[in-house]
Structure formats: structure tokens, C-alpha cells
Amino acid sequence: MAAAETFYDVIRRQGITRRSFTKFCSLTAASLGFGSGAARAMAMALETKERVPVIWMHGLECTCCSESFIRSAHPLVKDVVLSMISLDYDDTIMAAAGHQAEAILEETKEKYKGKFVLAVEGNPPLNEDGMFCIDGGRPFVEKLKWMAEDAFAIIAWGTCASWGCVQAAKPNPTQATPIDKVILDKPIIKVPGCPPIAEVMTGVVTFITTFGKLPELDRQGRPKMFYSQRIHDKCYRRPHFDAGQFVEEWDDEGARKGYCLYRMGCKGPTTYNACSTVRWNGGVSFPIQSGHGCIGCSEDGFWDNGSFYDRLTNLHQFGIEANADKVGLTAAGIVGGAIAAHAAVSAVKRVASKREKAGA
């Protein structure tokens, strides 16, 4: 392979016209929130920079991230990123199998030491020395650490890799552990969501491979461009929230009128994601637009927080079905009862001591 092969070379070899290529650059620059100059910079980078391979590995997961990714709405995005740019290894969708496939990992480690991007879908289970997820004849956690050694950066795809997700639900028998608790010495970018939005995924890959650095991350390690606002902040039903107009039951008048789903347990106010702006399936819709509240799938612990349909979520410390109001009311009731009893005894004592005095 020619050492100087660029993204652009590969793209043209795949039969993509220059016109389509520049369109892709403009689109991606726009979706990442850059100005018009960035499209040019992106085109320049893709034309001159050496191709950065992406290695995509699968731990404990459900493949919904891959399913989302291959449905990236804009065909250009799909073609460029998936077929051309860089996906050198993805055991779920690649043609090669067995030793032939594993050989690519060795090769990439050697040839692109410190340069390739490791994208991880799912997470490693640590219990029983990682025996709950065997990949290529060895525990996935070993394969992950082995590949991470020489990676430039790691993308943690989805809520599994970012936070743990349903396989880490209490009591977490396999001890499924998010990537950033296992790999401690590499930059990690979290792209949570179950799955993440396809355009968000392609946007993140394109940014890292073209600019050779991670985008700006927030406190939780998520790219700010997609995760700095809540669903609630950009929700088209927000005016109904502020007005105090809520769906109170499925299929009531409010539901037909498209009122806010807050009272139906919508987690939009506590969920950081781009669903209400980028939306899904090519911008067709997103859960709230379809009349169902957000379940907060890109948030840490969403799988353990009780019903998707309750605004006040469960407190595990006080039993399975206890929320803040139930705990608080119970405490207030007990204390109120104690006060009443104490007041009654106080009154009796007082009368008794007065009689005593009067008698004496």
C-alpha cells in the first residue's frame, strides 16, 4: 500500500465525484456547527492528510450502534465514512472472518502505531476474568486493552461503552464496565445514546479522522457540539411546558393536541442529546414527535431509574417503589404523628403538674 494514500484518493477510487465530495464536506462542516471556511479546511485535510484507519470492536452490546450507523441518513455520509474513509476492521459487517480478520488488527497495530482510532461498541465484563465475553478466543477485555495500547484515541460508542447500559443494570452479574473505567491512559470520547444518532456518529468520526484531534468535550467526555444541550431545551413542545399544558393520559385531548409529555415521565429535561435538533431517520421524527416521552437513553443510569413513565424516579435505598414524594410524605407523616403524640403527653403532664402544685 502506498504510504501517502489520502482519504481523497480512496474516495475518488470508489467512484465518488468531486462534486459529491465537496458537498459532503459542506454538509459535515455545517452539522458540526462550523462556518463556511471549515468546509474548505475539511476538504483540504481529506485531500492531503494520510488516511486514518478506524478499528471498530464489539464487546457486550446489542449492535444497535452499528444498526444506527449504517442507516446514516444522507447517502453521501454513509458512502464516504462507511465504505471509503477508514473502517478497516469491524467484525460484524466486514467480509473477512476468523484469522484473516484478526490479522488486520496486528497489521494496523504495527503500521499505524499511535495513529489509528479505536471505536468500541459495547463494554467489557470484568467478572470471572472477563469470561462473559469471549472474542477471537480470548476475553474481550484483553483484546480491548491490547488494541488500546497503540491507539491514538478511543471512541466509546453508545451508552454501553460510555456508561454501562442495561448489561450493567443492578446487580450487574457480569460486572460490565464502561470503557473509561478500563482504559485510563488514552483520550476517550463518549458518544452515548442507545443507539447514538447516525449523523452524530459519522460527524464524530469525520472530525477525528480529518482534524487528527478530538472535538471539544464536556465534563463527562461527550462532544460539546452534540451533547451540550438537553432535549428539553430545543424541544418543539417546549412552549406547552412553559404554558402549563401537559398530556395527562395517553390518548387524552392533550395528547391529540401535542402537549408536553413531562407528566408522562418524559426525561427530556435531564437528557443531553441532539434528538430534538438532528432528529432520526434523516430528520423525519424523534420519540417526542411521535407522542412518546424521552426515556433518557443517553444518560448514565437510565436503566436503573425505574419506570420510563414517572417524573419522580425511584430511590433504591427505600425499596423498589419509593420515590422522593413517597419517602418524604412517609417521613412527614411519622414526624407529624410523633409531634401530635408528644404534644398530647406534654399537655397531660402539664395539667398533672399544675394539679400537684395546686394540691401542695
Partner 1 sequence: MTIHESIAADGEDAVQGQNVYVYEAPVRIWHWVNAFSILTLALTGYFIGSPLPSVPGEASANFLMGYIRFMHFAAGQVLAVFLILRLYWAFVGNVHARQIFYVPFWSGRFWKEWLHEVRWYTFLARQPKKYVGHNPLAQLAMLPMFTLPLFFMVITGFALYSEGAGRDSLEYALFGWVFSIWPNSQDIHTFHHLGMWVILVFVMVHIYVAVREDIMCRQSIISSMISGERLFKDRED
Binding mask 280-319 for partner 1 (x = CB under 8 A): ----------------x--xxxx--x-----xxx-x----
Q: Which of 119, 5, 23 is nearest to 80 (CA)?
A: 23
Provide the minimum distance between the beta carbon of 271 and partner 1 in the complex, in angstroms, as a whole number.
Answer: 8
- Smallest gap from residue 95 Cβ to partner 1 (A): 39
Choose the stretch contacting partner 1; rule: CB under 8 A; options: 104-112, 198-206, 232-240, 284-292: 232-240
- Dihedral, CA atoms, 87, 90, 96, 97, nearest 10 degrees? 160
Give SS3 for 278: helix
- Find the binder of partner 1 among 114, 137, 171, 244 (CB under 8 A): 244
Question: Does 92 engage in binding with partner 1 (CB under 8 A)?
Answer: no
- Cα(292)–Cα(296) distance, rounded to whole angstroms? 12
HSE of 348, CA atoms in CB hemisphere, 13 A: 6
Judged by CB under 8 A, the stretch of 23-31, 39-47, 134-142, 327-335 that binds partner 1 is 327-335
Residue 51 CA to residue 209 CA, distance in Å, equals: 8
Q: Convert residues 197-226 into a mask of x (bound to partner 1 by CB under 8 A) and - (unbound).
A: ---------------------xxx---x--
Q: What residues contact 238, with CB distance under 8 A and at least 6 apart?
A: 232, 260
Closest distance of CB 220 from partner 1, Å: 5
- Is 104 a binding residue for partner 1 by CB under 8 A? The answer is no
Q: Are 295 and 302 in contact (CB under 8 A)?
A: yes
240 counts as binding partner 1 under rule CB under 8 A: yes
Task: Choose the binding region for partner 1 from 48-56, 95-103, 165-173, 265-273 (rule: CB under 8 A).
Answer: 265-273
15 exposed, middle or buried (CB, 10 Å; 0-12, 13-18, 19+)? Answer: exposed
145 binds partner 1 (CB under 8 A): no
DSSP-based three-state secondary structure for 154: strand
261: left (phi over 0), alpha (psi -120 to 50) or beta: alpha
User: Minimal distance in Å, beta carbon 313 to partner 1?
Assistant: 6
Residues that bind partner 1 (CB under 8 A): 163, 218-220, 224, 228-230, 233, 239-246, 248, 254, 259, 262-263, 267, 269-270, 296, 299-302, 305, 311-313, 315, 323-325, 327-329, 331-332, 335-336, 339, 342-343, 345-346, 349-350, 353
